[in-house]
Amino acid sequence: MITDKNIPRHIAIIMDGNGRWAKQRGLSRLQGHKEGAQSVRAIVRACKDEGVKYLTLYAFSTENWARPKEEVAGLMKLLVDFLKEQECELHENKVRLRVIGRTEDMPILVQSELKRVIKATSAYDSGNLTLALSYGGRSEIVRSARLIAEQVRGGRLKPSDIDEATIAENLYAPDVPDPDLMIRTSGEMRISNFLLWQLSYSELYITDTLWPDFRAEQFHEAILEYGRRRRRFGDIDAT
């Protein structure tokens, strides 16, 4: 039985398998991404049903810029379409949109839509949807180090005062709790430069299901599995 105690407060997802899903069906990679966008909508709704307050989606990595220009352009259009289509549902469910990553790398139209929806939903606190865009875990930590270095150079911080909390406070979204559960679809056994600092004690759930096939039922199964685990955070198992 699922109780509030074993519902993850924050779930992060590496949405993998759009290309393989499309290839299996003789479709273009862009068609796979379009179907994957439907999974995003389904999981955002499922978070409300399951009682998950924070959802972070690895939507576009810093490495994804190396993909063919046509695919990147298609992904950017899909993102703009998603923001326009999803905005009403965000308002209806009082879900706040946030973004982490090098958003300045995104096309101007994408930046404009992101800023608009982020501002329009900024007062909501029923749920939080964070999109990781042009994001890399290593670059986030480098950015944090640079911000801290600037504080030291400006005399606002002593090197001896730097600790783990200092690093965390200078990440993209310091007020968002670390993920309790990280889900990766498509069966790949790696975290691909995603939330390297924040995932230190997250439970990992790997499923062979490709992202376009990952919907509310599969999401529920992941939460059930999370509920069966005992998070020890370095402590011994007393059972």
Two structure tokens written together for 91: 């308002």
d(CA 35, CA 59): 14
Please report, to the nearest 10 degrees, the dihedral formed by the alpha carbons of residues 44, 50, 53, 55 taken in order: -40
- Under DSSP, is residue 43 helix (H, G, I), strand (E, B) or coil? helix
Residue type, position 100, single letter = I
Residue 18 annotated in active site = no
Catalytic residue among 4, 6, 16, 18: 16
Two structure tokens written together for 24: 């299996």
Q: 22: Cβ–Cβ under 8 A, 6 or more apart, which residues?
A: 28, 29, 30, 31, 32, 33, 35
Catalytic residue among 6, 64, 93, 193: 64
Q: How far is CA 54 from CA 18, 31, 186, 189, 223, in A?
A: 23, 28, 22, 23, 14
DSSP state of 21: H
Range 160-169 contact pairs with CB under 8 angstroms and sequence separation of 24 or more:
167/141, 167/197, 168/197
Residue 6 annotated in active site = no
Q: Which active-site residues does the annotation give?
A: 16, 64
